[in-house]
Structure 1
């Protein structure tokens, strides 16, 4: 009887998720069809198709599946991206580039705290939005929020950070690739710029691979290095606010998709994967990312931004400009 019950529960959950997953899959097929027959970046088409339907999915049965796809299918896609990148490519980031990313992340977070004070906002809010902007968007916002003590405004601040950085990251995904090309950046420079500035992993992948495979790989490496910085930053926040031991343990844990990325990169680097397996896993990764980016578009609404305070929005915009300016400047001074 317990086995039957478990099976029924899994079936019920799958039934709940299927409408949203299928909608994202359909949009991914549509984006691929348009790209194959008329040219243009598949991931960008998927994002725009999703955003155009955002108002239709509010309160619909598709929402749970969209949330699932934008979160878990994305992580699978990013983890599988590791199969495309060997340690020789990761080493191309170099000590200089890694140092630039560390410095940019730290300055952005400090800027968030100082600017929050300037605008009359809580310093914790500046730390939250600064960390989300500097590291990995919504995931960083949730992780840093979990490391902070409870307060009456904590949930609202976290929700704002997630909405704001996701919206700005979506805009950056659309605007940064043509900006990089207009500035005459090479694929590697464009990838470093995109991976070092855009907030969320989904949009980094979308923007990078919309330029070229080389730019996408460089953007992914730079972005995942920033994601790895979530570990020491969250641990630092936990230490500041003297959280419980359970939160301290969580602060040490890297995102699972980062572990997966390193795992597949290691397999690629030591040469245990046949070329046909690498090709198939790369293709699976591509489809996961297209489907996930469609789901990200479906849940992205610019209307939500209009419901938040303008000073808080200005704060996140400035934080975004700070990290973009730092990385852009480094591209011209060093790269």
Structure 2
């Protein structure tokens, strides 16, 4: 009797399940590598200090050779795209509408002016320096909003092309390094300028790129400064929603003109989930333990995703870019610093 005659419906069903699970099984090797990097870098950052995302990026880049081998590539791609979007969506549990309202209109105007003007100036400076507009928008948005997290979120809304991932990696490295330096330097500026605790909080929250560095610098001065700087920073994080929506419209038009590659959805699921989580969190129905767990999960997703982006990028590719993007991000950082100081000294930030 032939094999086909002895096969049973159960065997056919088993083969069907194996076919369905095959894509998930193919992702496991690469995904495990990214998770391992996330665990190692988080341990190092927690015990010895330093930016976790930058560690994950550098560890990943040291394992770039894994992308030349088939078994890991699928999982790395999955982490760099899907895990990234999950992490960005979960950032919504860190923000409430009440936190935004408590700031008053002055800090809100300061943040809006700083974010919009920095993105516009970033795009203009990039063109003046002979760089692409896309890089200027990405670096400007990252500097203006929330550093590495914004770089990952905005890049997910941009078309995929031959330089998109290189631009993302470069931006993450730049803003993380600048943010770490700002955490040390900006409190010294606060002391030199003699800012009050409230003004110091607006200054730090409105200028430092990453949330962790804002918190560290703020509470380094006083509890009041730490509270204000955290609220202002969360308002900048909230600007991620309209920024991503603008990027969606902008790059959809570019794609229609044939200037970009890859499909860019108008309202991606991760952006919708981000907004929904902000609204739900504003209602106060998420228990504190669950909110902390979702925040931690978001951090793990972002670290895992950036490890994947690091694996996909080589030092040689970054070296090709040259010094101009570094100067661009430094100029954007100094511009944002100037905007916030002008708002403080003109009284706009205290309305």
TM-based fold match above 0.5: yes
Distance 1:128 1:29, change over 3 A: closer
2: CA distance between counterparts of 1:73 and 1:269? Answer: 25
Q: Deviations over 1:248-277 (max 9, x none)?
A: x96742x43232222112111111122232
**Equivalent residue number for residue 327 of structure 1:** 336
2: CA distance between counterparts of 1:111 and 1:76? Answer: 32
**Equivalent residue number for residue 300 of structure 2:** 287
**Equivalent residue number for residue 66 of structure 2:** 57
Secondary structure class of the residue paired with 1:276? helix
2: CA distance between counterparts of 1:47 and 1:240? Answer: 29
Of 220, 238, 242, the match for 1:228:
242
Secondary structure class of the residue paired with 1:273? coil
Which of the pair has more CA radius of gyration?
Answer: 2
Distance 1:17 1:275, change over 3 A: same
The answer to whether 1:133 aligns with 2:139 is yes
Distance 1:221 1:56, change over 3 A: farther
**Equivalent residue number for residue 87 of structure 1:** 97
Greater mean alpha carbon deviation, residues 318-327 or residues 11-20: 318-327
2: CA distance between counterparts of 1:22 and 1:238? Answer: 34
Greater mean alpha carbon deviation, residues 182-191 or residues 106-115: 182-191
1: CA distance between counterparts of 2:64 and 2:57? Answer: 14
Distance 1:17 1:239, change over 3 A: closer
Give runs of ≥4 in structure 1 deviating > 6 Å: 209-217
1: CA distance between counterparts of 2:240 and 2:253? Answer: 20
Of 167, 173, 177, the match for 2:176:
173
Secondary structure class of the residue paired with 1:283? helix
1: CA distance between counterparts of 2:243 and 2:26? Answer: 35
Distance 1:32 1:139, change over 3 A: closer
Give yes or no for contact 1:173–1:206 (8 Å, CA) kept in 2.
no
Distance 1:282 1:332, change over 3 A: same
Q: What TM-score, normalized by structure 2, do the two folds share?
A: 0.69
Question: CA RMSD, aligned part only?
Answer: 3.8
**Equivalent residue number for residue 25 of structure 1:** 35
2: CA distance between counterparts of 1:228 and 1:87? Answer: 15
The answer to whether 1:12 aligns with 2:22 is yes
**Equivalent residue number for residue 163 of structure 2:** 160
Q: Deviations over 1:106-154 (max 9, x none)?
A: 22223333443xxxxxxxx7333323333355765675557xxxxxxxx
The answer to whether 1:266 aligns with 2:279 is yes
1: CA distance between counterparts of 2:295 and 2:85? Answer: 14
Following TM superposition, by how much is the alpha carbon of 1:70 offset from its aligned partner in structure 2, in angstroms?
Answer: 2.6
Give yes or no for contact 1:80–1:282 (8 Å, CA) kept in 2.
yes
Of 79, 101, 113, the match for 1:99:
113
Distance 1:39 1:129, change over 3 A: closer
2: CA distance between counterparts of 1:166 and 1:221? Answer: 25
**Equivalent residue number for residue 85 of structure 2:** 75
Give yes or no for contact 2:111–2:235 (8 Å, CA) kept in 1.
no
Secondary structure class of the residue paired with 1:182? helix
The answer to whether 1:112 aligns with 2:126 is yes
1: CA distance between counterparts of 2:153 and 2:91? Answer: 19
**Equivalent residue number for residue 150 of structure 1:** none
Give yes or no for contact 1:27–1:46 (8 Å, CA) kept in 2.
yes
Greater mean alpha carbon deviation, residues 38-47 or residues 85-94: 38-47
